[in-house]
Amino acid sequence: MNPLKIIPLIALGIGALAAPSAQANEWVLGPAFKEGWKPQFTVAAMGGVLNPDEDKLSDGDAYYGVEISLNCPWFAPPTGSIRQQFWIGRYDENDVTFTSFEVNPRYFIDLSPNWSLGAGPGFGYLKADTPFRDGVDMFTLQLGADLSYRIGPLFLGVGARYQFTDDKEIAPGVDGADNWVAVGKIGVNF
């Protein structure tokens, strides 16, 4: 699937989230440059399952990686928060390897003092290695959601995202490496 097909959906989603708040003119641009801003870094290990859309090559199997996240330094909405989530992840099954580098910003709403739910788009890069082709570089777009629990230094979370990739041939008759990922996360809040 061509990832450019999803751009209108991402724009519509961002517009829907921003429209009610934009009318109130309560967005803060560049909160990192204002007094009192705190990045609230989190570093977490991730583990879960990646399931490629194209089952001709490989089945779902283990996915593991690291997430580094922080409060968005560029935009602060009037309610909730935007967190920039940087993922580095890897999938390796039957000589098929995907290594991805992703930026997945999420708009989070608080469900309680410790629980929050977030959703949003993302973009990134994926390198695919298969028995047929090595080092296929692809641009990616993602849509995903996360549920987070934070208490003191402890961070726990779950997340899922769908990733669209460029339609580059990675094996005979297989173009692109579109995939689903579902992960659990455990980490430290700073």
Contact 108, 134 (CB under 8 A): no
How many other C-beta atoms lie within 10 A of the C-beta of residue 113?
Answer: 8
Looking at the predicted structure, is the pLDDT value of residue 6 above 60? no
Supply 35's token pair.
């007094």
Residue 41: C-alpha distances to residues 68, 136, 187, 190 (Å): 7, 32, 11, 5
- Kindly report, residue by residue over 108-135, the tens digit of the pLDDT: 999 999 999 999 999 999 999 999 999 9
Task: Name the 3-class secondary structure at 178.
Answer: coil
pLDDT at 4 over 70: no
Beta strand 174-175 with 169-171 is antiparallel
Three-state DSSP at 173 gives: coil
Q: Find out whether 161 and 122 touch, Cβ atoms under 8 Å.
A: yes
> pLDDT band at 21, cuts 50/70/90?
very low
Domains and CATH numbers, the chain: 3-189 (2.40.160.20)
* pLDDT at 5 (0 to 100): 54
Contact 60, 53 (CB under 8 A): no
pLDDT tier at 13, thresholds 50, 70, 90? low
Does residue 19 have a pLDDT over 50? no
Tell me which residue has tokens 């517009």: 15
3-state secondary structure of 67: strand
Q: What is the pLDDT of residue 97?
A: 95
The confidence score (pLDDT) of residue 58 equals 76
**pLDDT more than 70, % of the chain:** 86
* Predicted local distance difference test score (pLDDT) of residue 60: 87
Q: Which residue has the higher pLDDT, 81 or 12?
A: 81
The pLDDT, as a whole number, for residue 139 is: 98
The reported pLDDT for the residue numbered 94 is 87
pLDDT in tens, 40-85: 999 999 999 999 987 777 788 999 999 999 999 999 999 999 999 9
What SS3 state is found at 81?
strand
Mean residue pLDDT of the chain comes to 89
